[in-house]
Every structure is written in structure tokens, then in C-alpha cells.
Amino acid sequence: MPETVLLLTLIVLPFAGAVAAGLMPTHARNAAGALAGAVALFCLLLVWVAYPTVSAGDVLRAEWAWMPALGLNFSLRMDGFAWLFAGLVMGIGALVVLYARYYMAEDDPVPRFFAFLLAFMGAMTGVVISGNLVQLAFFWELTSLFSFLLIGYWHHTTAAREGARMALTVTATGGLALFAGVLVLGHIVGTYELDAVLAAGDRIREHPLYLLALILILLGALTKSAQFPFQFWLPNAMAAPTPVSAYLHSATLVKAGVFLLARLWPAMAGTDAWFLLVGGAGLVTMLLGAYVAIFQNDLKGLLAYSTISHLGLITLLLGLDSQLALVAAVFHILNHAAFKASLFMAAGIIDHETGTRDIRRLSGLNRSMPFTGRLALVAAAAMAGVPLLNGFISKEMFFAEALSAEGPLGLVKILPFAAMLGSAFSVAYSLRFIHGAFFGPDPVDLPRTPHEPATWMRFPVEILVLICLGVGVLPAATVGPFLDLAVRSVLGNEVPYYSLSVWHGFNFPLLMSFIALAGGVALYLLLQGWLRSETEGEPLLRRFEGKRIFERAMVFLSWRLARRLEGIASTRRLQPQLRLIVAVAFLAGGAAVWVRGLGPGNLPPAPVDPVLALVWAVGGTCALGAAMLAKFHRLAALILVGGAGLAVCVTFVWFSAPDLALTQLTVEVVTTVLLLLGLRWLPKRVEVPGDGGPEVLTRARRLRDLGLAVSAGGGLAALSYAVMTRTPPELLARDFLARAYTEGGGTNVVNVTLVDFRAFDTLGEIFVVAAVALATYALLRRFRPAADSVEPPVQQQDQLSADLAEPGTERPVADWLLVPFTLTRLIFPVMALVAAFLLLRGHDLPGGGFSAGMVVAIAVILQYMIGGTAWTEDRLAWLRPRVWIGAGLLLASGTGLAALGFGRPFLTSYFGYINLPVIGEMPTASALIFDIGVFALVVGATLLMLVALAHQSVRGRRATSRALASLAKAGRARILAGDD
């Protein structure tokens, strides 16, 4: 198999498996398990296939261009170290899948579990075999994300939710720091490729930014590996299902941190800062974790703190700046994965078969589950570092390194003692695990009667314990080649001599081992009294709970600080916000002028035409009048806005923009009708003359707003004057003008632009209009109109009282507005014809879908206004605005898609002329069909909005008639005008 395919499969297959598992039905436990197992085993096989290449000292590589402009490639790279880790991820993964199949309850949504697990496996593989650091940081964050999902798998429990959130917050924040660190590192080296970074060790260490990069990367690594002071998330993550803990919290996720440290060891280690930060964190974590572990009453809690401690040990070894220590660290990573995964699984079996994990309740399980007991005993002994087991050998190497370490500050003097102390603690908690659970009298009052688990559930534990034994007895023959391979790929060819064997003769490390063993046993016996008491937690350190500090910090950050900032920087009131926007816009424009200056333009201004000046004297007065009257005289203000709009319309005509004028005019009509319809629900506001004027504060506020308005208006006037007196840039205009006919097939360039050159833009726009229309419709369906501000007009009152007198007939009492009524009926077909005319000629002459649609909408709304809702809808039942909207959108998008059918890009148009009888020669670009779509949409959307609003008055009238009826009963003829 080519190596590119192999590497890619290693990453893609788990994710593909995750998707497949996620799509399975909720209770497909066996199918999902089989799938996950098959994926893990197949990937393991692939890793094995890579062995010959890797063992020959070659590196498997694969590379795809990702962001070439930034020098980033998606590159995969597997050397011996990555190979070892990939094997660990897949191997333990396969065992965990088998275990989980039996561990998970029938009513859990198991496929989801396996989907997360597989996705995590893929992310972890990505971290391990990434060939560039940015990509590594990406997969790193993915592992945080999927571990969040896995820890929170039983999301109905608070502990799971909190644990998951805490793990995500800590590790993902660390991941961001790592990303920043990686960027700094990339800046130092000039590339993010791992090969180059590893080769540039000297340059990195001498660079002034080294310390920054180191701290940021360590933040990532130490949070992930739960090192002091970030260790608190790991015990809380024990709320996860036990297979997750066995996988994530022993073999993979937490190992990612130490993986990274070992990976970057050649590039970054070897400085005092590295020694102090990495070694210091490792030392403190090792002692702290081991000490706290002794006092845990929960089996998994004990294992969690023990994991923290062992990771501390590995970190400490990595911090020692010695090649032998690196060998020991890698070796211990493997050993710890083997015994800790098996112990987690054993703890899970105990939990599964007895219903509790509390050491104080458990006892004497050795009799009911002897086989599991033996397995756990061996694994725990390996954890304690008992000879002939794998933990012993790496611990011996650790002792040897502790004795020979060199470093600043005389810190190394205490290392041997610290190592022994940590080891003794480790013996003590291992003893507690085994003695507490498996020995002693028979347990009483357990939730379930304990018995051996299913054979296949125990199988993974058996395999792992076998590995512990095999490595412990014959290290060189079993793990030797693999360890050598991994270490060689990290250290290059400078691998120091080390001996993997059980017996090195009587020496200091052996002596230390025995002291630690004896000390641990003694400690355990001494602590019996404390451990049997009901005291929760450990002596001395109980108050320093990382979790509580973390929670306080979170509350401060996400709640108090946020609230305070919101109080300072935000308001719920609209006016200050708008004021701010206007002020900022003004200042931004002003700043640009300030910086670049605003000289006179190069074009002489055209002479003022008195007619247009007169038009704008009127238009401007209208605008000012509207501004003054909008509060107390809404109708007048509305009419004045119409006046200003007409002035705009005339301006468009004046300066050769007929299409704009047409659209502006029609839209003006519709807008006015719309606002008129809304007026009735606004509260009556009457100006009280001679009130002495508003108070001082209000007056000051108005003055400030006036200042803003004048500045904004003046600024915009100056800006537009400056723009207009300069030669306008040609930009697209030349192109559009040249190709409108020759390639777009229309002489109306604006229309061709809309339906052809920029048709995608128009398509987007009509979708927006459709969305807005539907939104208004939806809003109005649940509308609770305010009480009418005005009494119904006399006509309506008469009609209503007639309807009330003879319910059910609804006979018109009088022909109100007979002349306009007849006229609008007559004018309707004429307007429809005008609309058709505008639509069809749009491509060549002013017109088009927008204005044609508006004309139809105006025609219909006229009928509504004069004829009334009921009369119009009786006759125009075919008018279903939503259908028009849908048809318009379909037609427009369909025309665009049809181009794809002819192998052209989306919205390409075709054109030609056809001769129709009577009508004559007609342009038939496919753009016309698009324009018809626009037309239908505009008709539908406009009518939907207007009709929805108009219907409110029908509703309102029903409410009014009810009110009238009740009033009539009370003998009162008038309706109270409702105001607030």
C-alpha cells in the first residue's frame, strides 16, 4: 500500500467510522461495536504494515497543498515515535471498544458513544502523525472537543456535564495557548513543518522569543496532561463512562501532552527554563497526585490522581534534559498505558458487577471475582513498581536518572528523595486499591451481588496484564525494538546506551526501590486509622481545591465581569445606540478627511438650473417639514415625505436615469399606502399649545441631536459635492456599456446589469425581499393590534350598525365612493396592461420586473382601498401572494440553474429576438424569464405585506363590532377612542 494512502486512511477511516456509527439506530449496540472494533483493528493492521518501513529508519510522509500562499501543507508524517503512539492509540482503542461493548448498558445510546470514540481516535491519530505544527494544534483541539463529548456522554448527570465543561475549558484554552505558541515557533523557524522545526533546535533556543514560545506550548501540554496547577480537571472527568477513562485518561488524551513534550524535546529542551518549568511542574505533580490518590475513596478517583502522578513522573523525566531520561519517559508512557488502562477496566468491572466504586463499601471481592482480582493485583503491582513487572523497570530507570540528574539551583539534590517519596505513595495507593477492594471480610449491603464479568469483558484486561508481565520479565525481547525505534526517531543517532533488563546487580536504584516498597507498605499500615474514618479528602491539602478556584474564576469571567462590562459599555435603549452609530460614522468620515485632506475637485460645477433648484427648494422644505411634524402630525409628515420622494424622482429623471425614476415613483406609492395603513394603530398625540415648552434636559438633548443631524447632513453634503466635482471612476461601467447589447442582448444597460451581469446579486435581493415579506406576514399572524386610535369612519359605522341590526346579511347600506370605485375597477386592466408592457420591454427600454411588479401591486391595492377587503378578495381569489412569491423564486433560480444544464455557469443568459404576431419583434433573452421571476416575486411580496396589514383592519373591525355590540347594549353609540 502506498504510504500516502496508508497515512490518509489512518486519519480518515476513524472519522468515516464515526459518521457511520452516528447514523445507526439508537440501540444498535452490537453493530456499532463491531464497526468500531473493525475500524480500530484495521487501523492497527495498517500501523503494523508500516512497521518495516519505520523500523528501517525511514519516515512515511504524505503531503497535500492546503494554504500554499501561507506555506501551509496538510502533511502527515510517521516516524518511529509517531508509529509507537499510533499503535498505542489503535491497540488500546481496539481493546477499549471490546470492553465498552460489554460495559455500556442496553438502554444507553451506544452508537453515539462509539461515534464519539472513533472520532476521538481519528483526532488523536491526527495529533500523532501530523507533519506540521498548525495542523497538530488543530487536531489537538479536536481531541479536546471529542473528549468533551465523551466525558459528557451521560449528560443527564450534573457531574458529567460539569466534568466535561471543565475538561473542555481547561484543555481547549490550553490548546489555544498551544496554537499561539506554535505560531511563535513557526515565526522563529520560518516554517511550521515539523522536520524543519526539529532540525532548528539551536536557532530556537537562542531566539529572544524562545521563552514566550516555550511558555505558550507548555500551557498547552501541561493542561492536556493534567499537570500542576491544571491537574484539577482530570478527577472531575471521571464522571465519564469507564471505557472513556480507560482510553482517554490513561493511554491517549492525557498522553498527548507528554507526547508533544517528547516530540519537541530535540527542538526546545536543554535550557534552564525548560528544566525549571517542565521538571518543576512534573515534580510537584508527581508528589501531589500520589499523595492525594492515597486518600481517595472512589476507585476511579484514586486511579485519576495516580494517573496525574504518573504523568508528573513522565513530565519530570522529560524535564531532566538527559537522553536517558527521555528513554525512561517514553518507556514509562508505554508501561503506564498498559497497567493504568487495565486498572481502569478492572475498576469498571467492579463498578459494573457490584454497583459501587467506593473503597469503604467494597471488600473481599477476591472470593466472588477471583480472576478479576488476580488481574487487578498484577496490574496494581506493576503500578507500584514491584519487580518482574513493567512498572518496576521504568521506575528503576527513573531512580537512576534522579540520582544522576544535573540542573540549576541545586534542585536536583532533592530529586532522589522526592522520587522515593512519590514511589512510596504510589505503593501505598496501589495497596489501598487492591486491599480495599479485594481483601478483607465479605462485602455487605452492595447494590448488586458481585460475580465474575462476561469473559469477553475481561479479555482486554487479560491482554494488558499479560503485556505488563511480559515486559516486566523479558523487557528487551518484548518492547525493546519498539522502544529503540521510538527513541531513535526522537534523538536521531545519538541514542545513548541503555540496558533493558530486570537485573542490574545491587545498586542504588534497586535499594531505592526496596526502600520505596517498604515505605509504602508502612505508610499504608500507618494510615489505616485515617482511611477507615469517615473523613472526606486528604489531610493538609483539603482547602486547596483546584475545582473551587476554577469555578470561582469561571463565575467571575463569564458572569460578573461580563455583567460589569455590559453595564459600562452597553445599553438596551435604542437612541444612544443610534446616536453612537451616527457619531462614529461621522467621525470616521471626518478622520478620513482630516488625514487625506479634501481639496476642490477637478470638474467645474455645472451651472445651476433654476427649475431643479426650485424642485429641491420644495423637496428640501418637505424633508424639513416632515422632520418637524412627524411627532404630532403624522399624516402631514407622511405626505411631506412623499413630496421629498417625488423630488428625488424628478432628480433621477433629470440626470438621465429613467429606470430609477420609474421604480422610485412606484415604490413611493406603495410605501405611502403601507405607512397609511399603519397609522391607525399609533397612539394619538396632541400638541398642547402654550405649555411653556419642554424641560431643560429635554431641550439640551434635542440640541445635541440637532447638532448631530446638522453635522451628518452637512458632512454628507460636502462629501457628495466633493464626489460629484471629480471625474467619476470608470470601474465596471465601460465594460457593462460595451457588452450590454453585444453579449447581454439588451439595450437598457441598467436592466441588463440587473438580470444578467449582476443577476446573482438580484437573485439574492429577491430572496431577501421574499424573506422580509414572509417575516411581516408571520409577525402579523400573531399580531395583537393596539386599540384603534381613531373612530371608524362614518361609512364603516353605518355599515356596522346595519350588519348588527341584521346579522348574517352583510348587505351594503350605501354606495360610498361610487365614482372612484367605478374608476378603479375600470383602471385595473389598464394598469395590468401597463405592467405587462413595462415587463416585456424592460430589457431594451426603461421598465423591468421591479417596476412592473410594483405597478400590479398598486393596481390591486387600489381595489382594496376603494372596494374594501371583502369585495376585492371575492373577485381576486386567484391572487395568492405566497404562490406568487414561490413561483417567482423558482422561476428566477430555475433560469439560473438551466444555464448549468447547458454547461454554462450559473445564471448565464441566452438571447435572441423573435417575431410575434401583433406584438411584433420582441427581445427574448432567457434573462426575460429571470425578470418575470423578479416580477412575480415583487408582486407577491408587496401584496403579501400590504394585504396582511390591510387584513388587520378587518380583524380590528371585528373587534370593533364586538365593542360596538357591547356598547350598544350599554346604550352608548360611540366607541371610545383607545389611547394608552
Partner 1 sequence: MELVVSLAIGVLAGSGVWLLLRPRTFQVTIGLALLSYAVNLFIFSTGGLRTGADAILGRGQVGTLAEFTDPVPQALVLTAIVIGFATTALLLVVLLAARGLTGTDHVDGRERDR
The interface with partner 1 within residues 766-805 (CB under 8 A) comprises 768-769, 772-773, 775-776, 779-780, 783-786
Question: Which of 724, 813, 833, 900 is the binder for partner 1 (CB under 8 A)?
Answer: 724
Cβ contacts of 777-785, under 8 Å, gap ≥ 24 = 777/882, 777/944, 777/945, 777/948, 780/948, 780/949, 780/951, 780/952, 781/948, 783/952, 785/681, 785/952, 785/955, 785/956, 785/959
- Count of C-beta atoms within a 10 Å radius of residue 910: 15
Q: Are 637 and 630 in contact (CB under 8 A)?
A: yes
Q: Considering only residues 473-492, where is the footprint of partner 1 by CB under 8 A? A: none
Residue 498 zone, left/alpha/beta (φ > 0; ψ -120 to 50; rest): beta
- Three-state DSSP state, 287: helix
> What's the length of the chain?
980
Nearer to partner 1 (CB atom), residue 729 or residue 903? 729
**Angstrom distances, CA of residue 609 to CA of 397, 615, 720, 727:** 98, 10, 18, 21
Give least dist CB 638 to partner 1, A. 7
Longest dimension (CA), the chain: 121
Residue (554 or 617) nearer to partner 1, CB:
617
Place of cell 352583510: 810
Secondary structure element (H or E) that encloses residue 559, with its range: none
Among 747, 791, 823, 829, binds partner 1 (CB under 8 A): 747
Site for partner 1 in 581-640 (CB under 8 A): 582, 605-609, 612-613, 616, 619-620, 623-624, 626-627, 630-631, 634, 637-638
Site string for partner 1, 825-864 (x = CB under 8 A): -------------------xxx---x--------------
Nearest-approach distance from CB 860 to partner 1, in angstroms = 16
- Single residue of 190, 683, 812, 894 touching partner 1 by CB under 8 A: 683
**If binding is defined by CB under 8 A, does position 754 make contact with partner 1?**
yes
Q: What angle do CA 752, 758, 761 make, to 5 degrees?
A: 135
Kindly tell me which residue out of 187, 552, 685, 972 binds partner 1, with binding defined by CB under 8 A.
Answer: 685
Q: Residue 763 Cβ, how far from partner 1 at the closest point, in Å?
A: 11
Binding residues for partner 1, rule CB under 8 A, total: 116
Q: Is the CB of 94 or the CB of 754 nearer to partner 1?
A: 754
Residue 918's Cα: distance from chain center in Å? 61
List the one residue from 157, 720, 822, 966 that touches partner 1 (CB under 8 A): 720
Phi, psi (5° rounding) for residue 298?
A: -95, 130
Total Cβ atoms within 10 A of residue 690:
5
Q: Where are the alpha helices (DSSP H) in 190-279?
A: 194-199, 201-206, 210-224, 233-236, 242-246, 253-263, 265-268, 272-274
687 binds partner 1 (CB under 8 A): no
Q: Which one of 66-74, 277-285, 517-525, 727-735 is the stretch in contact with partner 1 (CB under 8 A)?
A: 727-735
Q: Judged by CB under 8 A, which of 765, 798, 803, 873 binds partner 1?
A: 765
Cis before 229? omega within 30: yes
Dist. CA 392–CA 731, nearest whole Å: 77
Selection from 825, 812, 808, 820 nearest residue 876 by Cα: 825
Nearer to partner 1, 188 or 752 (CB): 752
The least CB distance from residue 724 to partner 1, in Å, is: 4
Of the candidate residues 938, 943, 950, 964, the single one contacting partner 1 (CB under 8 A): 938
Burial letters for 760-797: b for 16+ Cβ neighbours within 10 Å, e otherwise? eebbeebeebbeebbebbeebeebeeebbbeebeeebb
| Grid cell for residue 263 | 516530540
Q: For the segment 690-719, give every residue that binds partner 1 (CB under 8 A).
A: 705-706, 708-710, 712-714, 716-719
209 binds partner 1 (CB under 8 A): no
**For residues 527 and 618, which CB has a smaller minimum distance to partner 1 in the complex?**
618
- Look at the block and give the residue holding cell 481516535: 121
Per CB under 8 A, does 671 bind partner 1?
A: yes
Q: Half-sphere exposure of 742 toward its Cβ, with a 13 Å CA cutoff?
A: 5
d(CA 273, CA 291): 27
What's the closest the beta carbon of residue 206 comes to partner 1, in angstroms?
56
Residue 256 binds to partner 1 (criterion: CB under 8 A): no
664 lies in the site for partner 1, by CB under 8 A:
yes
- For residue 570, the minimal CB distance to partner 1 (Å) is 14
Query: Minimal CA–CA distance to 491: which of 335, 333, 318?
Result: 318
Can residue 738 be called a binding residue for partner 1 (CB under 8 A)? yes
Cβ closer to partner 1: 487 or 626?
626
Q: Distance between CA 390 and CA 381 in Å, rounded?
A: 9
Cβ–Cβ < 8 Å for 946, 857: yes
- Region near partner 1 per CB under 8 A, out of 331-339, 654-662, 823-831, 884-892: 654-662
Binder of partner 1 out of 183, 657, 817, 890 (CB under 8 A)? 657
Q: In this chain, which of 129, 648, 835, 889 binds partner 1, going by CB under 8 A? A: 648
Pick the stretch among 103-111, 740-748, 823-831, 891-899 that binds partner 1 (CB under 8 A): 740-748
**How many angstroms separate the CA atoms of 665 and 21, rounded?**
60
Q: In angstroms, what is the minimal distance from the CB of 845 to partner 1?
A: 6
Q: Rule CB under 8 A: choose which of 508, 544, 559, 655 binds partner 1.
A: 655
Asked if 654 interacts with partner 1 (CB under 8 A), we say yes
Q: Which is nearer to partner 1, 82 or 615 (CB)?
A: 615
Closer to partner 1 by Cβ: residue 4 or 725: 725
Q: Does residue 578 touch partner 1 according to CB under 8 A?
A: yes
The residue range among 6-14, 120-128, 244-252, 729-737 that interacts with partner 1, by the rule CB under 8 A, is: 729-737
* Contact flag: residue 143 with partner 1 (CB under 8 A): no
The angle, 0 to 180 degrees and rounded to 10, between the axes of the packed helices 370-384 and 390-404 is 10
Measured torsion, CA atoms of residues 821, 825, 830, 833, in degrees rounded to the nearest 10:
130
Q: Least separation, in Å, of the C-beta of 654 and partner 1?
A: 6
Determine, following the binding rule CB under 8 A, whether residue 676 of this chain makes contact with partner 1. no
We find the least distance from the C-beta atom of residue 675 to partner 1, in angstroms, to be: 6
Name the residue nearer to partner 1 (CB basis): 69 or 569. Answer: 569
**Span of 365-373, 521-529, 888-896, 939-947 interacting with partner 1 by CB under 8 A:** 939-947
Candidate residues 444, 568, 574, 914; the one interacting with partner 1 per rule CB under 8 A: 574
Q: Which is nearer to partner 1, 191 or 651 (CB)?
A: 651
